[in-house]
Structure 1
Amino acid sequence: MNFIPDNVSEHTNVYDVLKERGFIEQTTDDEAIRELLGKEKIKFYIGFDPTADCLHVGHFMQVIIMMYMQKYGHTPVVLIGGGTGMIGDPSGRTDMRQMMTPDTIQDNCNCFKKLFDKFIDFDEEWQYSGNNGVYSPGKENKTPEPGKAVCVNNASWLLPLNYIEFIREIGKHFSVNNMLRAECFKQRMEKGLSFLEFNYMLMQSYDFMVMARDFDCKMQFGGNDQWSNVLGGIELTRKACDKQVYGMTFSLLTTSEGKKMGKTQKGALWLNAEKTSPYEFYQYWRNVADADVEKCLRMLTFLPMDEVKRLASLKDAELNKAKEILAFEVTKLVHGEEEAKKAQEGARAAFGGGGSMDNMPTTKMDRAQFEGEGMGVVTLIKTLGLVPSNAEGFRTIEQGGLTVAGEKVTDRKMNITADMFEDGKLLIKKGKKKFHVVEI
Structure 2
Amino acid sequence: MILSPQPTGPRSDFLRTLSERGFLHQCTDLAALDSWLCSGAGTAYNGFDLTADSLHVGHLIPIMMLRWFQKTGNKPIALLGGATSRLGDPSFRDTSRPLLNQEQITKNLIGIRRVFERFLAFGDNPTDAVMVNNSDWLGGLNYLDFLRDIGPHFSVNRMLTSESVRQRLEREQSLSLLEFNYMVMQAYDFHILAESCGCLLQLGGSDQWGNIVSGVEFGRRIGGRTLFGLTAPLLTTTSGAKMGKSVSGAVWLNADRLSPYEFWQFWRNTGDTDVGRFLRLFTELPLGEIARLEVLRDSEINEAKKILADQITRLCHGLDAAVPASETSRRIFEAGEVPAGLPTVRLPHSLRGAFPLVDAMVVAGLAKSKSEARRLIVGGGVRVNGRSANDKAMRLVDADIQNGVIRLSVGKKRHVLLQPV
Q: What is the CA-CA distance between 1:186 and the residue it aligns to?
A: 0.7
SS in 1 for 2:168: coil
2:409 pairs with 1:429: yes
Find 1:268's aligned residue among 235, 250, 254: 250
2:133 pairs with 1:153: yes
Q: What is the CA-CA distance between 1:365 and the residue it aligns to?
A: 7.0
Which amino acid is the alignment partner of residue 130 of structure 2? V
2:299 pairs with 1:302: no
Q: What is the CA-CA distance between 1:109 and the residue it aligns to?
A: 2.5
Q: Distance in 2 between matches of 1:272 and 1:31?
A: 37
Counterparts in 2 of 1:418 and 1:194: CA distance versus 1, 3 Å: closer
Match in the other structure for 1:29: 29
Task: Map 1:25-424 onto structure 2 (within 5 A).
Answer: 25-123=25-123, 145-189=125-169, 190-353=172-335, 357-363=339-345, 369=351, 377-378=357-358, 380-382=360-362, 384-412=364-392
SS in 2 for 1:187: helix
Q: Distance in 1 between matches of 2:23 and 2:402?
A: 48
SS in 2 for 1:321: helix
Q: What is the CA-CA distance between 1:420 and the residue it aligns to?
A: 5.9
Q: Distance in 2 between matches of 1:45 and 1:119?
A: 14
Q: What is the CA-CA distance between 1:272 and the residue it aligns to?
A: 0.9
Q: Contact conserved, 1:43 with 1:216, CA < 8 A, in 2?
A: yes
Counterparts in 2 of 1:20 and 1:101: CA distance versus 1, 3 Å: same
Q: Contact conserved, 2:44 with 2:75, CA < 8 A, in 1?
A: yes
Q: Contact conserved, 1:256 with 1:291, CA < 8 A, in 2?
A: yes
Q: What is the CA-CA distance between 1:88 and the residue it aligns to?
A: 1.3
| TM-score, with length taken from structure 2 | 0.89
Q: Contact conserved, 1:345 with 1:356, CA < 8 A, in 2?
A: no
Which amino acid is the alignment partner of residue 186 of structure 1? R
Q: What is the CA-CA distance between 1:38 and the residue it aligns to?
A: 2.1
The more displaced of 402-411 and 310-319 is 402-411
Q: What is the CA-CA distance between 1:379 and the residue it aligns to?
A: 5.5
Counterparts in 2 of 1:99 and 1:393: CA distance versus 1, 3 Å: closer
Q: CA RMSD in A?
A: 2.5
Count of aligned residue pairs for this structure pair: 408
Q: Distance in 1 between matches of 2:396 and 2:102?
A: 48
Render the CA deviation track for 1:71-124: whole Å, top value 9, x for unaligned: 11101111111122221111121111111112322332233223322221223x
Q: Distance in 1 between matches of 2:216 and 2:358?
A: 58
Counterparts in 2 of 1:383 and 1:17: CA distance versus 1, 3 Å: closer
Q: Distance in 1 between matches of 2:241 and 2:368?
A: 24
Which amino acid is the alignment partner of residue 347 of structure 1? S
Counterparts in 2 of 1:404 and 1:121: CA distance versus 1, 3 Å: same
Counterparts in 2 of 1:222 and 1:385: CA distance versus 1, 3 Å: closer
Which amino acid is the alignment partner of residue 226 of structure 1? Q
Q: Contact conserved, 1:213 with 1:241, CA < 8 A, in 2?
A: no
Which amino acid is the alignment partner of residue 177 of structure 1? N
Q: What is the CA-CA distance between 1:278 and the residue it aligns to?
A: 0.9
The more displaced of 378-387 and 114-123 is 378-387
Counterparts in 2 of 1:83 and 1:356: CA distance versus 1, 3 Å: same
Q: Distance in 2 between matches of 1:377 and 1:240?
A: 62
Render the CA deviation track for 1:329-354: whole Å, top value 9, x for unaligned: 11111111121121112222322346
Counterparts in 2 of 1:425 and 1:215: CA distance versus 1, 3 Å: closer
Q: Contact conserved, 1:357 with 1:437, CA < 8 A, in 2?
A: no
Q: Distance in 2 between matches of 1:215 and 1:376?
A: 58
Which amino acid is the alignment partner of residue 320 of structure 2? E
Counterparts in 2 of 1:175 and 1:341: CA distance versus 1, 3 Å: same
The more displaced of 383-392 and 296-305 is 383-392
SS in 1 for 2:239: coil
Which amino acid is the alignment partner of residue 313 of structure 2? T
Q: Contact conserved, 1:121 with 1:149, CA < 8 A, in 2?
A: yes
Q: What is the CA-CA distance between 1:382 and the residue it aligns to?
A: 4.8
Give the gaps of 5 or more residues in structure 2.
1-10
Counterparts in 2 of 1:160 and 1:358: CA distance versus 1, 3 Å: same
Q: What is the CA-CA distance between 1:267 and the residue it aligns to?
A: 2.4
Counterparts in 2 of 1:164 and 1:430: CA distance versus 1, 3 Å: same
Counterparts in 2 of 1:421 and 1:49: CA distance versus 1, 3 Å: closer
SS in 2 for 1:221: strand
Q: What is the CA-CA distance between 1:181 and the residue it aligns to?
A: 0.6
Which amino acid is the alignment partner of residue 351 of structure 1? F
Identity %: 41
Which amino acid is the alignment partner of residue 235 of structure 1? E
Q: What is the CA-CA distance between 1:405 and the residue it aligns to?
A: 3.6
Q: Distance in 1 between matches of 2:251 and 2:377?
A: 28
Q: What is the CA-CA distance between 1:404 and the residue it aligns to?
A: 3.2
Q: What is the CA-CA distance between 1:56 and the residue it aligns to?
A: 1.3
Q: Distance in 2 between matches of 1:83 and 1:439?
A: 40
The more displaced of 211-220 and 394-403 is 394-403
SS in 2 for 1:160: coil
Counterparts in 2 of 1:147 and 1:399: CA distance versus 1, 3 Å: same
| TM-score, with length taken from structure 1 | 0.85
Match in the other structure for 1:138: none
Which amino acid is the alignment partner of residue 37 of structure 1? L
The more displaced of 402-411 and 428-437 is 402-411
Which amino acid is the alignment partner of residue 164 of structure 1? L
Which amino acid is the alignment partner of residue 403 of structure 1? R
The more displaced of 351-360 and 156-165 is 351-360
Q: What is the CA-CA distance between 1:60 and the residue it aligns to?
A: 2.2
